[in-house]
Amino acid sequence: MLKRARPLLGTIVEIRVDGAPEGPIPARLAEPAVASAFESIAYVDKLMSFHRHDSDLGRLHAAEPGQRVSVHPWTMHVLRQAFRMFELTSGTFDPSVAAALVADGLLPAPAGPRPATSTTFDSIVLHSDCTVVRKEAVWLDLGGIAKGFAVDVAVGALRDAGVRAGAVSAGGDLRVFGDTDQPIFVRSPQRPAETHLLGALNRGAVATSSAYFLDSFGHSAGKYAIVSGARLRGQAPKTPRYPSVSVIAPRCIWADALTKVVTLAGIESPITIKALSLYHAQAVVS
């Protein structure tokens, strides 16, 4: 087994390569595979970072409404997945929440005019030639879905390099692959320094969303409001229903986004039930 870790995506990313049934993978093959996986994650961060002015999002925010902005196919894929989730959940999942996060001091204000409070994710148009048009000023934060995508592309890079079993973990997002069940641990919402066993998985992803460390940043977990598209439309902010939400799904991009849907809509909501079913996912709340 080979394990490496690097700071990426605002967290610590850990990549593990496990041995195959016929024996351990040689280090001369494992090391380049892990390096390729880390490079894939770093590239996702470069493309979709809210903080970088030269990212695809940064260039989109700086562009005039009506102007076509070319984006990388990976960015377009994430935007399309996000838009599908937005439509499926009736706006519960909405990356245009970025304006509210900026107002709350949780994100820096990007270039370009400040969006109106009524602006939602459907203020953008996605074209087949990998260009995006904003119909009006809108800021997008893909932090609720792009990290899961980064984990997925890292797993793809490992597989392309011949790795048959392993895991990629980025903060609360994890994807495992191989023939052997691997134990899945999540942090205790009451005691973040401790973990507890969620179950075992050999192929698939788990994403966990929680307010573990909000107090460290001056936001009391009891008072903190998770904002959504409803806030941008002038409704009351939606508050976290559960201390911790974990979603198990075939892909990490889906698990990552679905944790926000469960948190905001509730695990028994028809919106959540439909979304979990369509993505072949399960949710665990605590």
What percent of the chain has pLDDT above 90? 64
Lowest average pLDDT, out of 4-8, 18-22, 44-48, 140-144, goes to 18-22
- Residues 222-232 as b/e (b if ≥16 CB within 10 A, e otherwise) read eebebbbbbbb
- CA within 13 Å, CB half, 60: 31
Residue 216 is predicted with a pLDDT of: 39
Helices vs strands, H then E, count in the chain = 8, 12
248: three-class secondary structure by DSSP = strand
Across residues 69-83, what is the average pLDDT? 98
- pTM score above 0.85: yes
Q: Is the pLDDT of residue 215 over 70?
A: no
Q: Is the pLDDT of residue 168 over 80?
A: yes
Average pLDDT taken over every residue of the chain:
86
Residue 22 is predicted with a pLDDT of: 53
- Residues 116-153 as b/e (b if ≥16 CB within 10 A, e otherwise) read eeebbbebbeeeeebebbbeebbbbbbbbbbbbbbbbb
